[in-house]
Amino acid sequence: MFLACQTAVVWPKLRAMNPVLVVVPTYNEKDNIRNIAAAIFLACPQADILFVDDNSPDGTGSIADAMAAGDSRVNVMHRPGKQGLGRAYIAGFEWALGRSYRFVFEMDADFSHNPAELPNFLKAAEDSDLVLGSRYVNGIRIINWPLKRLILSKWASLYVKAITGMPFTDPTSGFKCFSRKVLEAINLAGIVSSGYSFQVEMTYTAWKLGFKIKEIPIVFEDRHSGTSKMSASIIREAVWLIMKLPLRPVRRLRLNSQPPVRP
Ligand SMILES: Nc1nc2c(ncn2[C@@H]2O[C@H](COP(=O)(O)OP(=O)(O)O)[C@@H](O)[C@H]2O)c(=O)[nH]1
Ligand SMILES: [Mg+2]
C-alpha cells in the first residue's frame, strides 16, 4: 500500500487492481482540468481519477470526456446541474464503493490542493483510517487567500471545535484520504450537506464511529484560474448543520467493516 503511487510503473498489469481513486468535483474548471489530471498522474501514476461534473456551462465535462477517451485512468460522472460539492462527493464515493478502490481522495480541481502531496497522504494512511490535510497544524500555510477568507476559515475551525468537540485544527479542509472501510461504515445516504459543511459532516461521522483520524500539514494556495463557488447560502447551511450535528445519532452502516482503533 505504501507504494500505492508507484506500483503501476513497476508492474503495469496491476492496473486492474488500482487501489487509489482521486475524486475531483468540477464546476467551471475548464482552465484547470487538464493540468490537474497531469499533476495528479505525475505524483501518483497509478491513481485513477473520477471527475464529478455538474454540467459545467464552460464545457469542463466535455474536456473531461476527451481526456477519459485517451486515458483509462480518467473517469467522468456527469450530473444534470449544480447541486453542490457535497452531493458531487457522495455520488463519487458511491461510485468508488462499487469498485475495488482501497483509498479514496477528495481534492479540488483548482490547484488549491497540491497533487504533489498525495504520496504523503498515502504514507499517513498506513496507520490511520482517515487522513486530513490541515492548513493550520503548526502554523498557517495559506498562500494568496483574501484576508476575509482566512478569517472565515479560522472562525469556522473554532466554531466546529466548540460545537462538536473534535480536536482537529482544520475540520473544513477538503483535501483528505478515506480508507475504504470508513466510507463503507458511513451511511452516505444520511449525509445531508450540499455545500462545504460536507467536510465537517463526513469527518464528524468518521470520528464518532471511532475511526483513527490523522492530520498532516498541507500548503493551501488560492486558485490561479476560474472563480470560487463559495456563497452566503453555503455559509448559512454550514452554521446550521454544524449546530445540529451533535444531536444526530451516528450509526455504523456495515457491521462487517473492520473494527476501528481509537487513537
Ligand atoms: N460538481 C461540483 N463541483 C463543485 C461545486 N461547487 C464547487 N465545486 C468544485 O469544488 C472544488 C472547490 O470549489 P471552489 O469554488 O474552489 O471553493 P473554494 O476553494 O472554497 O473557493 C472545485 O474543484 C470546484 O470546481 C458543485 O456544485 N458541483
Ligand atoms: Mg478553490
Q: Which CATH number fits the domain that encloses residue 91?
A: 3.90.550.10
In a domain, 102, yes or no: yes
Tell me if 253 is assigned to some domain: no
- Of 208, 245, 196, nearest to 87 by C-alpha is 196
pLDDT tens digits for range 29-42: 999 999 999 999 99
Of 5-9, 92-96, 131-135, 144-148, the least confident: 5-9
Q: How do residues 52-100 score in pLDDT, each as one tens digit?
A: 999 999 999 999 999 999 999 999 999 999 999 999 999 999 999 999 9
* 217 CA from centroid of ligand 1 (Å): 21
How far does the centroid of ligand 1 lie from the alpha carbon of residue 33, in Å?
Answer: 12
Report pTM: 0.90
Query: Is residue 199 one of the residues assigned to a domain?
Result: yes
Residue 262 lies in a domain: no
- Tell me, what's the pLDDT at 259? 46
What distance in angstroms lies between residue 158's CA and the mean position of ligand 1's atoms? 23
Per-residue pLDDT averaged across 127-137, rounded? 96
Q: How far apart are CA 184 and CA 256, in angstroms?
A: 9
Q: Which of 103, 109, 92 is nearest to 131 (CA)?
A: 103
* Residue 228: pLDDT band with limits 50, 70, 90: confident
Q: Which residues contact 60 (CB under 8 A, 6 or more apart)?
A: 26, 27, 28, 29, 30, 33, 51, 53
The CA 113 to ligand 1 mean position distance, Å, reads 12
Distance CA 51, CA 37 (A): 10
Of all protein residues, the one whose alpha carbon is nearest to atom 18 of ligand 1 is 228
**Is the separation of the CB atoms in 212 and 101 below 8 Å?**
no
pLDDT single digits (tens) 235-248: 899 899 999 999 88
Q: For residue 260, is it within any domain? A: no
Q: Is residue 257 part of a domain?
A: no
- Nearest residue by C-alpha to atom 17 in ligand 1: 228
Ligand 1 atom at shortest distance from the alpha carbon of 60? 25
Total domain count, the chain: 1
Protein residue with least CA distance to atom 12, ligand 1: 108
Q: Determine, yes or no, domain membership for 77.
A: yes
Q: Cα(58) to centroid of ligand 2, in Å?
A: 17
- Alpha helical stretches, state H, the chain: 7-10, 33-43, 60-70, 85-97, 118-124, 147-164, 180-185, 197-208, 232-244
- Structural domain including 105 reads 7-247
Residue 259 DSSP symbol = P
Is 252 inside any structural domain? no
Pocket probe for ligand 1: among 55, 108, 237, the residue whose CB has the most ligand atoms within 8 Å is 108
The mean pLDDT of 130-158, rounded to a whole number, is: 92
Q: Whose CA is nearest to atom 16 of ligand 1?
A: 228
